[in-house]
A = this chain, B = another copy of it.
Amino acid sequence: MSVNAEIITIGDEILYGQTLDTNSHWISGELDQLGIRVIRKTTSPDKEDEILIAFEEAEKRAEVILITGGLGPTNDDLTKPTLAKYFQVELEMNEAALEEISERYERAGWELNELNRGQAIQPMGSTKITNELGTAPGIWLERNETIFISMPGVPFEMKAMMEKEILPKLKRRFVKGKIHHKIIRTGGIPESRLAEKLQDWEKNLPSHIKLAYLPTLAQVKLRLTATGSDQEQLEKDVDEQIELCMPLIEKYVYAIGNIELEERVGQLLRENNKTIACAESCTGGYLSHLITSVPGSSDYFQGSYVAYSYDIKEKALQVDPEVLKTQGAVSEEVVIQMAKNIREVFGTSIGVSLSGIAGPGGATKDKPVGTVWIAYSDGEKTEARKFVFAKDRKLNIQLSAMVALNIIRSNLVKK
């Protein structure tokens, strides 16, 4: 029997169109991986009677009710008292929660006031859920066959709580049959072309294995989900299918499993004993940010120059001023010089450079917004490629950095 879940997001800011609800989207994806079906999503205003109705309707249908929002210390945060009212219990100080909050404040050197202490108050019978990244603990409350789980609306706090505590607990309780996922991560190929290459293989998938295409920025993830009773057999079945499809898409696959592209690049740099430095113009530091978001990246990342002005390109990166003048900053010759020189300046194995027109300004007749040159340089060669991405500034920055990562990856794999 499958378990039904509902997600209730609470907050006038969502209903007024000021905050885009991404929480319920993320939660849905995570529950889907456990085979728990989300059968309804509801957004309720910050009003007691409306929240009560949402609880009541959800309890009729679902065994798990996940609530986000309305857990802060201020007066418009109603989730906690409303939950207590719905369960017909009092609010009381949860000592375990209070201890955690006190520790957090002590660490940060802040003083604990009454509002902060109030965050440890929970409906009687609740179990606190640790909030490692914020001050409002979550609430786990059960009756009959239904679990109510209340979390803060701040996405990174909610995600950490889900990953560390809630999802493992739900898995232990509800996942009876076995389920096995594996994700094939690809870069540098659009979804439609990937689907074309895989169509025959997909048709022949056994019925207990399902395929989902999950496109994100400059990447497509393929998720294989096998269900059955024998975990080992499921793993074998999935691996067999991966072996069958790999020859069709190998050059686009950067990893199998839960590894981001920047982590994979880090692994490859480490394995090959290489170091890297970047010279960024249009991406303004975003490529360096992605590389250094990986723990331990100081082992292979030496540093970067973010060179927005002509001046810095000339002085710090020693780009030939004549070339800058005649070809412009967004040109093959300039990114080649940037990549070569950053490699020399930082004494690294690899140098990567980007220069482009992120927009909205800066376009010329033959260089529209979205034009980006990316160069890669190592001891053996230096090569540059031109791309024309999108019309949107943020998107151009993100796409440029992701594509640069993929260029680094494919060069490291070749070795």
A367 at the binding interface (Cβ < 8 Å): no
If A202-B75, A309-B302 touch, whether A39 touches B26 (CB-CB below 8 Å) is: no
Q: Is the CB of A309 within 8 A of B298?
A: yes
Q: Which residues of chain B are near A211, meaning CB under 8 Å?
A: 76
Q: For chain A residues 27-74, which have a beta carbon within 8 Å of chain B? A: 27-32, 37-46, 50, 54, 57, 72-74
Question: Are A28 and B42 touching (Cβ within 8 A)?
Answer: no
Question: Taking the complex as formed, is A384 at the interface, i.e. its CB lies under 8 A from any CB of chain B?
Answer: no
In the bound complex, CA of A351 to CA of B76 (Å): 40
Residue among B28, B30, B77, B288 making CB contact with A306, cutoff 8 Å: B288
What are the residues of chain B within 8 A of A181 when measuring CB–CB?
16
Copies in the complex: 2
Nearest residue, chain B, Cβ from A15: B38
Q: State the Cβ distance, A415 to closest chain B Cβ, in Å.
A: 23
User: Taking CB as reference atom, which chain B residue is nearest A179?
Assistant: B16
Contact check: which of B215, B283, B295 meets A393 at CB < 8 Å? Answer: B295
CB nearest neighbor in B for A194: B74
- CB proximity of A270 to chain B, nearest CB, Å: 14
Please indicate the chain B residues that have their CB under 8 angstroms from the CB of A305 in the complex.
Answer: 303-306
A295 close to B361 (CB less than 8 A): yes
The reply to whether B392 and A18 form a contact with Cβ atoms under 8 Å apart is no
Residue on B with the closest CB to A27?
B17
Candidates B25, B57, B293, B391; contact of A17 at CB < 8 Å = B25
Instruction: Report B-chain residues with C-beta under 8 Å of the C-beta of A312.
Output: 302-303, 346
In the complex, the answer to whether B42 meets A42 with C-beta atoms within 8 Å is yes
The answer on a CB contact under 8 Å between B39 and A14 is no
The reply on A301 being an interface residue by CB < 8 A is yes
Q: Which residues of B contact A41 (CB under 8 A)?
A: 14-15, 41-43
Query: Would you call A289 an interface residue if the criterion is a C-beta within 8 Å of the partner chain's C-beta atoms?
Result: yes
The reply to whether A394 and B192 form a contact with Cβ atoms under 8 Å apart is no
Q: List 18 A-B contacts (CB under 8 A).
A: A15-B38, A16-B38, A17-B28, A19-B214, A24-B43, A37-B45, A40-B54, A74-B191, A74-B192, A74-B195, A76-B211, A132-B391, A133-B392, A284-B293, A285-B287, A303-B308, A303-B309, A316-B345
Known interface pairs A285-B286, A285-B292, A391-B132; A223-B397 also in contact (CB < 8 Å): no
Q: Least Cβ distance of A265 to chain B in Å? A: 14
User: Which B residue sits closest to A292, measured CB to CB?
Assistant: B284
A-side interface size class: 35 or more
A320 interface hit (Cβ, 8 Å): no
| A284: contacting residue among B16, B289, B311, B393, CB under 8 A | B289
Check A45 against B39 for contact (C-beta < 8 Å).
yes
Q: Are A397 and B293 in contact (CB under 8 A)?
A: yes
Q: For residue A104, which residue of chain B has the nearest CB?
A: B390
Residues of B within 8 A of A1 (CB): none
Give A289 Cβ to nearest chain B Cβ, in Å: 4
In the assembled complex, the Cα of A286 lies from the Cα of B283 at a distance in Å of 11
A379 at the interface (CB under 8 A from B): no
Beyond A13-B223, A298-B308, 17 extra complex contacts between A and B, CB < 8 Å:
A14-B25, A18-B223, A21-B21, A39-B45, A73-B191, A75-B195, A75-B202, A109-B388, A110-B190, A116-B192, A154-B216, A285-B288, A285-B304, A295-B360, A303-B316, A304-B305, A316-B316
A280 at the interface (CB under 8 A from B): yes
From B18, B44, B214, B361, A18 is in contact (CB under 8 Å) with: B214
Q: How far is the CB of A342 from chain B (nearest CB, A)?
A: 11
Task: List chain B residues, Cβ under 8 A from A295.
Answer: 359-361, 393
In angstroms, Cα B37 to Cα A297, docked, is 46
Q: Taking the complex as formed, is A113 at the interface, i.e. its CB lies under 8 A from any CB of chain B?
A: yes
